[in-house]
Chain A
Amino acid sequence: MRMLTGPIASFSKSHLRDPKVVATASQGLVEIRLGGDADPVGMLPMRMIREQQEVHALAQTFIRAMVALRQEKPSPVLLGEVAYVADWSRDEQDRFLDGFAEAMAESLRMNDPAPARFYVKLMSIPDSEYRSPQFTGNVTGASADIIDAKVGLRR
């Protein structure tokens, strides 16, 4: 699990030599009790820290995009990574923010940058053009009549 909600185990300082401590910490946050009044310290996989940092960076991008897109002429500098939306229509920008908000919420909930990262990357790719009728169902000639007869009922 990726969530940073609380420690998955707790050890006292005297157990630090025990290989189990590091083994457990590579699965998630481990609390090390220092004794007395001292605040416990945590041990966790670097991966979780990197993920957390990336989630933070994406959240910043989101907030900056929200601010930038409220302006008449959105600043590409403020938009940063999502500068590609600067010349989209107002409606497209609104929908972009809407989707970004949802992906961002999921990333924050899971402490996983993947949903927001995927969103930002995907939206930057222009729409593709296809040669095949597979995606529209545009069948030609006799086939259309046969399907008419079999499936029937045109809209």
Chain B
Amino acid sequence: MSLTATALTRRNVHQVSAIERTANAPWWAQEVETFLLVDAPKQILSRTGSGLLVHEGDVLVAVAAHRPHHKWTAELLQAFLVLPALRNKGLAALALLCALAHVHVAAKTEHVMWLVHQENTAMLRVSLSVADPATPADADGFVTFAKP
């Protein structure tokens, strides 16, 4: 298994249109999907945001968006998803590591942070397997992770 990350650009951003939404997803997962399918591509197209695609060979595995955090000298991984058809195969941790490595380089920063809703069991497990939580859940129910 060898995953590669490439920056999302105006040339490849249409690839995200092939991603299907998860039926019955909880609201925090729906928001992530809307963000990655609509808002993040718009930011790429208007050059106001950054993102990446994770591939295994020609197969698109995961998509993520990131941008500088407005308060900390860290890059914020705003959203991350594994393509619905490839879920539950244990790919998420590897894909997340690949995405984080890309963000470290692309954003030229030491720290990458991301927030996970405490009810998002799947993403919590995935996050805990690559980093320790930086904080317990906040008032909105989001746990912060930072790497390193």
Contact = CB atoms under 8 A, between A and B. Distances in A.
A86 B36 CA distance: 26
A128 B140 contact: no
Nearest to B71: A154
Interface string B7-41: 00011011001000000000110011011001101
Interface string B117-148: 10000000000000000111011101010100
A139 B144 contact: yes
Nearest to A130: B31
A132 B14 contact: no
B72 A133 contact: no
Given A102-B10, A106-B10, A135-B79, A151 B41 contact: no
B28 A114 contact: no
B60 interface: no
B111 A151 contact: yes
Given A123-B42, A128-B34, A155-B71, A133 B142 contact: yes
Contacts of B111: 151
Given A103-B10, A147-B134, A137 B42 contact: no
Given A115-B14, A137-B71, A127 B42 contact: yes
B78 A122 contact: no
Contact of B138 (A119, A135, A143, A150): A143
A71 interface: no
Contacts of A142: 135, 138
Interface residues of A, number: 38
A150 B132 CA distance: 12
B46 interface: yes
A130 B73 CA distance: 23
B52 interface: no
Interface in A102-137: 102-103, 106, 114-115, 117-119, 121-123, 125, 127-128, 130-137
Interface of B: 10-11, 13-14, 17, 27-28, 31-32, 34-35, 38-39, 41-42, 45-46, 69-74, 76, 78-79, 111, 113-115, 117, 134-136, 138-140, 142, 144, 146
11 contacts: A95-B46, A99-B46, A130-B35, A134-B28, A134-B78, A134-B115, A134-B142, A150-B146, A151-B74, A152-B72, A155-B70
Interface of A: 95, 99, 102-103, 106, 114-115, 117-119, 121-123, 125, 127-128, 130-137, 139-143, 146-148, 150-155
